[in-house]
Amino acid sequence: MSQTVLIVEDDPKTRDILQLYLEGAGYKVLMAADGRDGLEKARTYHPDLIVLDIMLPEIDGLHVCRTLGRESETPIIMLTARSTEDDMLLGLDLGADDYITKPFSPREVVARVRTVLRRVSKSKAQQDAEVLQHGILEIDKRRHEVRVNGEAVKLTPKEFKLLLTMALSPGRAFTRDELVEQAFGYDYDGLERTVDAHIMNLRKKIEPDPSDPTYIETVYGIGYRFAELDNVQ
């Protein structure tokens, strides 16, 4: 059964060319021309992924992203003509899984859609697994243990939650603020930059070479992500 992608974009030419390329790649495509219609179609048809423009009539894309983020776990790729770091950070903070700046190649959009859907599928499988295996790194969710090459590594509770949050979604870029909220909780009163200290300690404990990380990658201008590895099981 083909996966469904909802395109929420007010420019008809952009919608049509994305539809053409996505259908050519085997996806079923739904389209909406404004934010209000996009919300209605997302709630009615429950697409597998949403390609969402930021600048939309009726309801802007950031509001749509925020609303859907509270209601579902549908992955979202933001389309934006804004290339500033703050706009990208805001989209990610609101729950977007990826962003693409305009102008873009339709082939790039198809590739990003494929990558995000594969990542989400892998993440759902890992949610059900008790032990996550990433090369020589093992994360035991039930026992709250981490092993490197079979040897137990002692992590603090916050370090474990931070590592698990990222490892459950390999390849996804997390902002510092997002990591604070998801790993530490909304009532955590620490500064976002304390995430950097936790990451530094994690790298010292789990990385073969902390100066050249294998697992926890820095996404410059954004935050951090857990690497997508070929030998993830």
Q: What is the DSSP letter of 43?
A: H
Class of the domain covering 129-226: mainly alpha
Q: What is the pLDDT of residues 134-156, one digit of tens each?
A: 888 999 988 889 999 989 999 98
Residue range(s) of every CATH 1.10.10.10 domain in the chain: 129-226
More confident residue, 126 or 222: 222
Euclidean distance between CA atoms 168 and 134, whole angstroms: 11
Q: What is the pLDDT of residues 59-87, one digit of tens each?
A: 999 899 989 988 888 999 999 876 556 66
Residue range(s) of every CATH 3.40.50.2300 domain in the chain: 4-124
- 233: confidence class by pLDDT, cuts 50, 70, 90: very low
The kind and range of the H/E element at 29 are strand 28-32
pTM listed for this prediction:
0.61
Look at residue 53 and tell me whether its pLDDT is greater than 70.
yes
In terms of CATH, what superfamily is 4-124? Response regulator (3.40.50.2300)
Q: Do 79 and 51 touch, CB atoms closer than 8 A?
A: yes
Q: Do 9 and 19 touch, CB atoms closer than 8 A?
A: no
